Structure 1
Amino acid sequence: MSNEADEIVSAIIAKWCAGFARLDAAALSSLYSTNAFFFGSNPRLYRGRDGVAEYFNGLPRWRKPSAAFSEVQVVRAGPDLINMAATISFDLPGERPDLIVKMSWVIIREAGDWKIVNHHASSQAPLI
């Protein structure tokens, strides 16, 4: 794990959490690659920034949403490739029980900036 990769991922996580707190689909989708694959909390595969924006625009309009990342693992898989895995706790006070998911991102350097090219959320509860 390199310090540079940790810093890159930490910066993306901070922007992601800030965008999620505002349910700002434009800010969130800007963190993703033009070629992104996105599996969120429903079975559909969303593609590209427009797909990511569609997903976030389709979420309920919670009053005070927040997300906290923990158990973050980062590996630099190549000069322009970072692999990230974490647990995310979503706090939606008074609107639903807290939601905890496993998350993985593949992050690439695209046009000189780091973007999420693959986003996969899955249940923390065992499926088998």
Structure 2
Amino acid sequence: MHDTILDNIQTRWNAAAATWDPKALARIYTKDAVFFGLLPRLYVGRSEIEEYFGSYRLILEKVELTLVDQNTRPMGPDVFAAQGFGNILNYNFDGTVIKNVVRSSFVIVSKSNEWQIALHHFSELVPGQKPSRG
């Protein structure tokens, strides 16, 4: 069940990132979400998360995220954690495409009959390092 929910969140995220829509991306997160993206600052709350995504508005045309090797753990009836890796393709307005491979951690909660991200953490792998579970 959790894998299906995570797949749905990834689909929603990619739909919003297909036109790089910071507002639509931020709505996937809870109002009080905690967010560590690939910038060094911690973002708290949906408005700051929208600010994070908005900071890329003049750079990114679209982004594609593929979550891989995700391990989920229930934390309660309406909350679970997921950790694994993510492949990110950044399509820039200048025509370049940049691939990032990140470690990913999420806490996903059900709010008002919708699953949302309450905690998001990405960290880049060291160049040349490959994702591994052991």
User: Is TM more than 0.5 here?
Assistant: yes
Structure with higher helix content: 1
Structure with higher strand content: 2
Which residue does the alignment assign to 1:69? 67
**Is 1:91–2:100 an aligned residue pair?**
no
Deviates more, 1:84-93 or 1:7-16: 84-93
- CA distance 1:98–1:61, change in 2 (3 Å): same
TM-score by length of 2: 0.82
- CA distance 1:64–1:9, change in 2 (3 Å): closer
Q: CA RMSD in A?
A: 1.8
Which residue does the alignment assign to 1:119? 120
Any runs of at least 4 consecutive aligned residues in structure 1 with deviations exceeding 3 A, and if so which? none
**What is the count of residue pairs matched by the alignment?**
123
Q: CA deviation at 1:36?
A: 0.3
Which residue does the alignment assign to 2:46? 49
Q: CA deviation at 1:17?
A: 1.7
Q: CA deviation at 1:64?
A: 4.3
TM-score by length of 1: 0.85
Extract unaligned runs of 5+ from structure 2. 130-134
* Aligned-residue identity in percent: 30
Extract unaligned runs of 5+ from structure 1. none
